[in-house]
Chain A
Amino acid sequence: MIRFDQVSKRYSTGQEALSGLSLELTAGEMTFLTGHSGAGKSTLLKLIMLMERPTHGQLLVNGKNLNRLHHSQIPYYRRNVGVVFQNHQLLFDRSVFDNVALPLLVSGYQSREVGRRVRAALDKVGLLDKEKLNPIALSGGEQQRLGIARAVVHKPRILLADEPTGNLDPKLSAEIMDLFRQFCEVGVTVLIATHDVELISRMGLRLLELEQGRLIHDRAPVYAA
C-alpha cells in the first residue's frame, strides 16, 4: 500500500530529516512509528500526505508514484488519506457535525449522503449526541475522537495519526487505539506515530523505529496481544 524506496528528505534549512529510508506497509496493516523528537516521524507522515516532497528516492502509495503526481492532483489524492493530528486541527467556528462533514463537502457529496455518513462516523466514536455542540465544549479525549471521526468519515484507505494519544490518560488512549484497530479490521491501512512506548508494547503490533532519519528497528507484530 505504502512503499518508501531510498527516500531522503532534506529541508531548505539543510537539516536532513530522512536519509535513504526504505520500508513497506501492506494494505490493511496497522503499524506504529516511533523514535525521538526530530527522528523524522512527522516528516514521514508529511511525505505520505504530500505536505512535503522527497528530496531523493521514490514513494509509492497504492501503486502510484507520488513524485509523478502533479500539484493539481494532490487534493484528489488526499481524499484517500485520513489524518488525525495531535493538535486536532478542529475548526471552532462551526459545530461538531460541520467539522466532520468537511471532508465530504470538499469532495462534493450530496447533502443527504453527508448527513448519513457524518452521523455514522460520530456514532462510531461515540459523539452522536454532541453533533450540535461547538468542539470547544468537548473534553480533550472527545476532541481527539472528533478528529478521528473527521479523518474516517470519507472512508479513506489510509489512516495516519500523529501522536493521537499525546495528552490523554492511559484509559482514553486505550479507547482511541481500540478505535484505530477497528478501522484496521475493515481493511484500512493505519500508521500511528507515537512516543507512548507502553501502549505500543501492550498492543503488540508492528513497530518501526526511526533515529536521525534512518530506520533502526522493524519489529514484526506479536500476536499474543
Chain B
Amino acid sequence: MQRNRRIQPSRIGKPRDNKPREQRRGATDSRADYLDKLKSYIQNHRQIFFNTFRRLAAEPVQTLMTSLVVAIALGLPAALYVGVVNLQQLGSRVETTSQLTVFLKNDAVESAIAQLQEQLTSDPDIASVRYISRQQALDEFQALSGFGDVLEMLDENPLPAVLIVQPDDRFHADLVASEGLVGRLKALPLVDDVRLDMKWMQRLQGMLQVGQRLAFSLGIALAFGVLLIIGNTIRLAIENRRDEIVVVKLVGGTNAYVRRPFLYTGIWYGAIGGGIAWLLVAVGLLWISGPIGRLAELYQSIFKLQGLGFSGLIAMLFLGAVLGLMGAWLAVAKHLASIEPR
C-alpha cells in the first residue's frame, strides 16, 4: 500500500502547529492521523525507554559507578531515617512510663510505707501510686531478667522497696515542674532517692528530633548532590553525542526529540541508584538485626527492627527517578541549546 501522507506525531504536544495541514484534510482523515501520531509518539517513548537502558547496560562499569554514587547519596539519609523511625518506635513504648520511681530506705517499715502511699495518692500533683515491696521487686527481677540464679547466691535481697508514682498529666512534658515534684518527694524522710524516668525520655525525644532534622537536611543536601552528579553525567553524554545531536537537528528533530533520550538516561541513573540505595539499607538492617534481636530479648522487649519495606522501595525508586529527571533536565537545559548545526 502506497502511503505518501506524512505522520508527524512529535507535533502532538503542539496541536497549534498542525492547523493548516489539518484544515486541508477531511475531518475523519485527521482523526485517524491523530491516532497514528499518538501511537507512534508512545512507540517513540517506549523505544527510548528501552534504548537508553540498553545503552547504559552496554557500559556496565560507568553506569554502576554513577548509580552507586547516587545510591550512597540517597542511602545515607534513608539509613538515618530508618534509625530515627526505629528509635521513635522504641520511644513510643516507654512514653507511657513517664513516671517517677521512688526508692524507699531499706529500714522503712510496712506501716509507714502504707501511710506514705496514702499521703501521696491524695496529693493533687500525683495521679496514682503503686507499691512494689522488696520481695515483689525480687520476684519480678528474677522472672524478667534471667539473672535469678545470681540473686540466689546473695545472702540478702539487694533490691529496695519502690513506689511507682505517676505524676498528673500536666507534668507530662514539663521537665521543670517535674523536677520540682522530684525535689519535694526527695525531701520526705522515708525516701532514699527519686528517679525521673521522663528525663531520659525527653532526652531521647530531643535527640530524635535532632536526628530527624539531621536526616532531613542531609537528605536535602545529598539530593542536590544527586542532581549535580546526574547533571554532570548527562552533560558528558551530551558532549559525547554532539555529532548525533547536530545531525538530528539538521534533519528536523525537535528539541523535545533531542532531549528525550537524555532525560530518560537521567531517570534510569536515578532509579537504579534509588534501588541500590534501598538494597544497601536492607542489607545493613539485615546485618544488625541479629544483635538487635538479642539485645531486645535481653530487655524483654518485643521491639522489632523496621526496614524500608516494599513501599520504601517504591519511594526510593520514585525519588531517584525524579531527582534523575531533574538533574538531566538541568544539564539538558544548559548544554543542549548551545549545540546547533553550524
- Which positions in A face B, CB cutoff 8 Å? 49, 51, 72-73, 75-79, 83, 89, 91, 93, 102-103, 105-111, 113, 150, 154-155
Given contacts A73-B17, A76-B8, A103-B252, contact A110 B43 (CB under 8 A): yes
A84 to B254: give the CA distance in the assembly, Å: 20
* A108 x B8 contact (CB < 8 A): yes
Contacts of A51 in B (CB 8 A): 250, 340-342
Closest chain B residue to A82 by CB distance? B251
* B7 x A78 contact (CB < 8 A): no
What are 8 A-B contacts defined by CB distance under 8 Å?
Answer: A75-B253, A76-B17, A76-B252, A76-B254, A78-B249, A103-B252, A106-B252, A150-B251
Contacts of A154 in B (CB 8 A): 6, 251-252
Return the contact of A108 from the options B4, B44, B244, B340 (Cβ within 8 A).
Answer: B44
Contact with A along B315-342 (1 / 0, CB 8 A): 0000000000000000000000000111
- Would you call B138 an interface residue if the criterion is a C-beta within 8 Å of the partner chain's C-beta atoms? no
Given contacts A106-B257, A108-B44, contact A89 B4 (CB under 8 A): no
Q: Which residues of B27-55 are within 8 A (CB) of A? A: 36-37, 39-41, 43-44
- Would you call B313 an interface residue if the criterion is a C-beta within 8 Å of the partner chain's C-beta atoms? no
Measured CB to CB, the closest approach of chain A to B307, in angstroms, equals 43
A49 to B252: give the CA distance in the assembly, Å: 10
Given contacts A51-B341, A51-B342, contact A109 B248 (CB under 8 A): no
A110 to B252: give the CA distance in the assembly, Å: 16
A93 to B44: give the CA distance in the assembly, Å: 20
- Would you call B247 an interface residue if the criterion is a C-beta within 8 Å of the partner chain's C-beta atoms? yes
- Would you call B63 an interface residue if the criterion is a C-beta within 8 Å of the partner chain's C-beta atoms? no
- Would you call B259 an interface residue if the criterion is a C-beta within 8 Å of the partner chain's C-beta atoms? no
Contacts of A110 in B (CB 8 A): 7, 36, 39-40, 43
Q: Kindly count the residue-residue contacts between A and B in the assembled complex, taking CB atoms under 8 Å apart.
A: 82
- Would you call B239 an interface residue if the criterion is a C-beta within 8 Å of the partner chain's C-beta atoms? no
Closest chain A residue to B251 by CB distance? A103
Contact with A along B250-264 (1 / 0, CB 8 A): 111111010000000
Contact with A along B289-302 (1 / 0, CB 8 A): 00000000000000
* A107 x B8 contact (CB < 8 A): yes
Counting chain B residues whose Cβ lies within 8 A of the other chain, the interface size class is: 20 to 34
Q: Which 5 A-B pairs have the closest CB atoms?
A: A79-B252, A108-B9, A78-B252, A103-B251, A106-B253
* A108 x B250 contact (CB < 8 A): no
Main secondary structure of the interface of B (DSSP, over half): helix
Closest chain B residue to A94 by CB distance? B244
Given contacts A76-B252, A108-B44, contact A102 B247 (CB under 8 A): yes
Contacts of B203 in A (CB 8 A): none
* B247 x A75 contact (CB < 8 A): no
Measured CB to CB, the closest approach of chain B to A208, in angstroms, equals 23
Given contacts A108-B10, A110-B43, A111-B43, contact A75 B254 (CB under 8 A): yes
* B6 x A106 contact (CB < 8 A): no
Return the contact of A102 from the options B40, B43, B248, B342 (Cβ within 8 A).
Answer: B248
Return the contact of B250 from the options A73, A89, A113 (Cβ within 8 A).
Answer: A89
A108 to B256: give the CA distance in the assembly, Å: 12
A200 to B5: give the CA distance in the assembly, Å: 35
Given contacts A108-B44, A110-B7, contact A89 B246 (CB under 8 A): yes
Q: Which residues of B208-259 are within 8 A (CB) of A? A: 243-244, 246-255, 257
A102 to B251: give the CA distance in the assembly, Å: 8
- Would you call B184 an interface residue if the criterion is a C-beta within 8 Å of the partner chain's C-beta atoms? no
A75 to B243: give the CA distance in the assembly, Å: 17
* B40 x A109 contact (CB < 8 A): yes
* A78 x B251 contact (CB < 8 A): yes
- Would you call B172 an interface residue if the criterion is a C-beta within 8 Å of the partner chain's C-beta atoms? no
Contacts of B44 in A (CB 8 A): 105, 108
Given contacts A78-B251, A91-B244, A102-B251, contact A113 B3 (CB under 8 A): yes
Measured CB to CB, the closest approach of chain B to A38, in angstroms, equals 16
* B7 x A91 contact (CB < 8 A): no
Measured CB to CB, the closest approach of chain B to A186, in angstroms, equals 12
Contacts of B41 in A (CB 8 A): 108
A49 to B251: give the CA distance in the assembly, Å: 10
Contacts of B252 in A (CB 8 A): 75-79, 103, 106-107, 154
Residue of B39, B246, B249 most packed against chain A (CB within 10 A):
B249
Contact with A along B14-26 (1 / 0, CB 8 A): 1001000000000
- Would you call B186 an interface residue if the criterion is a C-beta within 8 Å of the partner chain's C-beta atoms? no
Residue of B11, B340, B341 most packed against chain A (CB within 10 A):
B341
Contacts of B253 in A (CB 8 A): 75, 106
A89 to B248: give the CA distance in the assembly, Å: 10
* A75 x B249 contact (CB < 8 A): yes
Measured CB to CB, the closest approach of chain A to B90, in angstroms, equals 56
Closest chain A residue to B18 by CB distance? A76
Contacts of A76 in B (CB 8 A): 8, 11, 17, 252, 254
Contacts of A105 in B (CB 8 A): 44
Measured CB to CB, the closest approach of chain B to A41, in angstroms, equals 15
* B39 x A106 contact (CB < 8 A): no
Measured CB to CB, the closest approach of chain A to B51, in angstroms, equals 11
Closest chain A residue to B6 by CB distance? A107
Contacts of A79 in B (CB 8 A): 6, 8, 251-252
